[in-house]
Structure 1
Amino acid sequence: MDNRDPRIVLGTMDFGTRVAPDRAFAILDAFVAGGGVWLDTANCYSFWTDPAGVGGASERVIGAWLRARPGARDTVRIATKVRHNPLVPHAPDSAEGLSAHAVHAGVEESLGRLGVDHVDLLWAHAEDRSVPLEETVGAFGDLVTKGVALRIGAANHAAWRVERARSLARERGVEPWTSLQLRHSLVQPRPLTPVAEGGHRLLTPEDLDLARAEGLAVWSYSSLMWGSYVRADKPLPSTYDHPGTTRVLAVLDDVADELAATRNQVVLAWLMQQGIDPIVGASRVPQIEEALAAHSVRLDSGHLARLDGAR
């Protein structure tokens, strides 16, 4: 993986829908005040909770915050995604896809909502096997050439598809995907059991092998399992109901007690010490402040061995 120091990424999926703009502004302010840099959004956020039935709410809130905070664009880096925004309200099957036209149109609309002339990282939100990979690779590469996206990455893609796309980019002489975004956390579902959340792809050893061999950045989502580590009212999904989870949570409690940290902070520190940038969603300011404090949590080799051994 790349040699940067991993950092907490602010996930903004619920901004403008479940999280009202004024509260989102407060979270964004606290994130920047705490040294945060990267904001992660998508053009489809969050169509499933928006009465309009299409995405764009999160990007509009970020755009409004940037306008209200002169100089903020020089402080933060923005990552957004194309692929899943419905073309017909409330009809996810109508998603835009990853054709060259869809990629270019999606980014243009995102830039308008954000009020910026480029994004720092553009993700292909998921695979679109109805479109030749060569076409998608060319479209993303063209956006980098034009300066519309400074970096590009693949979210929820199989490792072999990412490597194939990188090979095609080299052949065409365009910028390749240099970042991966996948679901990952300390607890894991039962082996060979699909997760209930549609479209989610779990980080695999093959993904890490590819990232380490090629120097790719890795971002993880659902890093804190929607609050399930710390909230009794948000139990882990049934696919996590197995003896391994019980072992992991017991060790997690021991390590958290030893370090005077929260469960969430230990999980985030565990991810970052593997070179992974965890995406953390927040609906209140204290949640993002707690997450940012994980940068100061240091797990020694013994802690890591115990946590990994329980999984």
Structure 2
Amino acid sequence: MAKMYYPYLRGKQFELIALRELLESDLLDERVVPVIEPVKASSTLQTVLVQFQQKGHSIAVIQNPKVAPYQPFNNAVVNELKRDAAFIPTMFIDQVSDLAALADYTNPRKMVVISKDVRFEMPENDDAWQQVLKLIAVDNTRLIRRATHHVIELDDSFAKEDRNADYADKVDQFFSDNHLHFQEDGFSGFSDYSVIGSEYTDKGFAPMAVAIHIVYFDAADNLRIMHFVSDSNSDITDPAGKFSEALGKLVAWYESDDFDHQKNDSHALAAFSAMYTLKQYSGLGIAKKLSIQHHLEIMGRFLHNRYGA
């Protein structure tokens, strides 16, 4: 079965939990292969890797992450996992010779990530280069045009705003149509940063506004994104109340006649609705987790229906 969608996540706690719960509930289609850039060799990350191995579901893990200091695991459990067919060793590279670092991994499937500012000449008759999965930033116009064999386009589809309150003026936005056109564009797959965006920060803060971001398929199967924003945004007090305001708008949309349940319903949206009914607030990390789960679930279902079993 062809792997098509490679969501790029940063390996923070709630992103890992999102993957773990999707896998446990059999809601992660086999065409969806997460790419993890770890920020910490945590027990949660190790548990997720073990679960993917047990399920036989592919996952790519970057061995030389850039966003945070990181020492890879060095224990018997993970070293054994790295020899499993479900584990795709992945590295950032700056030149083709960097591929040699992947030779130590026995898995024949390997991946490289090429950032927008990387430049090098295309190698000719190089088996290692031809066989490796190449995740290339779409901003790297030179390599994205010239690279061949197993190329995956990495696009930052999430239009990040400086403040959560700014999303209130852009309630409904275009997100992506790469899932419709990646093959005709010559790619083997497509990738994005889900509803998180490429910008990384390891610092938490109390927001003045709460925003919940939910993607959905429109009538033409383009992916769009809704931003549900709180109203009482003058200070940082009462995050639970702000969340309830944003959640109320999400649930009203979910229960409206405009919502296409066949295309866009998910276990995550049902969980959001239940939270609203119960007046439950468990922290903004839960909202982030559910937003990611919703995206990956409906994208997997779309790919399953479009490309068959």
TM-score bracket relative to the smaller structure: 0.3 to 0.5
Greater RCO, 1 or 2 (C-alpha within 8 Å, sep 6+): 1
